[in-house]
Structure 1
Amino acid sequence: MTDDRIEAINSVVGRLIGREAKPLTLLGMPTPMIDISRANLHESKKEFLVEKAAVETVVEGLKSIVEQIVPSEEKDTPERKAMMQRLQIAIETKALQQVRHRNLDSAMDLAIKNIFETGFYFGSMRLIIAMYLIFNERLSELKEQEAQFWTVSSRPPNYYARTIALRLARVYARETGKRPTFGMSREGNFPSTDFGRTLEEVFRILEIKASVRNAATWVLDQLSEDDLRPARNALAAYLDLPEPKPSGLLNALSGR
């Protein structure tokens, strides 16, 4: 995000909470007064299904590799054990031949070289097992998201809009000790409260095309008494802590 957009976010949020100080990184770079990163969610069901299909394919491929190269005391026959010993020797020999011609241009090159020299067969096996476990964990997350978000019959809400509205509401509540309010002006179709106007402006800056009314109305029911308590310290205030655990955020965003 550009510095101009960060400055704009800080300006409108600062006016809302009465604190114009702008958080900086250790290098002096401006950062938003609210977390504006996207939750680990997708814009559409099509986008979600593309990732889920890719991860499923990777998991199946890695599982197949693991089953082929990882020894199994229960399943390995004498013939298979002999084959794997021959294969290990052949692979190690080729790995040592290749490593002599590898250039060390980065730390990553050095890490790969170490795997080649310290036992490529078993080193790569451990990496493949780690990849399988990590991708399988991601697949579990996607299945959880599918159950919560993408099996509904109606059109799902804009989760990024809800996330931003919830973060702004929590910052407002902790800074002021009050619950934000929302209403629409009788003179036109625009928010009539400070929180609503700020949320509308934040949506405009972030180019979020969603109903401010829907997001604000939803978020008012999500706040708890804990959200009204001041943050423990300045760092906690800046980070908008405590944040809910990922599963809690998913449940909150889905209205559960």
Structure 2
Amino acid sequence: MKRIWNNSWLQKGLRNSTFMQSKSPHQIDPELSDKLFSIVNDILPPDKQVKPRTGLLTFGDAPFHISQPNQHDTKAEFEHEYQIVTEAMAGLRKLVPLFLTREDADQQRTLDLLRLEFDAKMQQGAPETPIDVAIDLVRSVVADVGGLRASVRIFIDLFRALSERRDELEQQRDKFWNLPHRAPEYYARAIANRLAKLYARKTGQKPTSGASTDTGDASTKFTKALEQIFSLLDIQSGARPPADWAIKNLTEEDLAPRMSVLENLGLGPSPSRKGLSMSRCVLPEGPKD
């Protein structure tokens, strides 16, 4: 018989953490989304076009992040988020390897037995029908397809997201909190940087920047696209300086094809090629104190 969870405190916590029940601050107006995708696709080759994500949990989308680069009112708020991110990464760095494929036969057998028990318990605790919210549907599907393996892959995705956020916060520390004043036009630079990275990743080339010698208006597809995006986002800045800055700061890594999730996180080759072996899959160490 399927066991029903009666832990009111746990269910309350799940309800409070269900972000898809309310509108996320990163969701955008559908009309703005359409305009942004149209502008971006105008500068990309036909076979490199970007499309909005679709799914039960997708409420609004953009071809790249359009949020303000700094969202903290105080340094204490900034340091608190940085602590949460780095401690979560440290926890995942210890947690994920525990469940990866082992080369030792006895250890692998133990892991297989644990997986069976873990999957059964996740199925017991999965939400029952009728399912009222999308997150409960996701939890139910995760339990059905294999709770442990699916959870580990979600943990890896979470680690990647946390790693990217840590990098953003460290850039913000240099730009905002270690200086007596904010860098000029930083929002414009951030948007230009995100668009330049998207273009580089999709085409393998750096975009170009330029302006008319007669009017000063943007003269390349990239800078024209930036002008349009700045207008949509109400960014009071010319396109040329942020475009030049973003292009100058592109790296060879930005021009390379995107690696698989595991390769990107230092976990080794894609599982389709090598498998998840503990001898090859190690989450990158954090910074040394």
- Which TM bucket (shorter chain)? 0.3 to 0.5
| Structure with the largest fraction of helix | 1
